[in-house]
Structure 1
């Protein structure tokens, strides 16, 4: 079983070998796509997410590894934690307002 898995792994990577050499990858169909050029529909989002440092701004159309995904999620997590830390008073007030609205409407907290 391990040999079959290893064989599949090698074959899969061999399919991508020519595109890895050229920096281009195949998309659906027979055309190739430059991994360094962002799609028109994603341009604004790519620009925004690059400005805030979630991505490095290179290879927008390349596949994402688990390592790259982990780094991006961690950068986003740090941004969210800074946002929450800077708004802890506001969040506390919002929590109180939410509890008041829930009690007025007859909602109760879910049992833990």
Structure 2
């Protein structure tokens, strides 16, 4: 658990930099609010899921596996968002540059 804590808490500064780095203005505030809302929702759902898994199996191993799977899902979703956001920004940048080149001709 201590080693897992090093990994989780080591990622937090980089994670919290993304909501303000990718979107700007009110979208950044909205993304932080969405992250907080999902975090609060998970603090209600995850203990219930872990309790159900413990009752059915008699051990906490399944509950810890559930938390690990949710962490892996978060990594996959975050990777997809960053890649999609980056490709959208490149399209906008290329279109803007091409528009500026055409305007100067």
Under a length normalisation based on structure 1, what TM-score does the superposition of the two structures give? 0.27
* Higher strand residue share: 1
* Higher helix residue share: 2
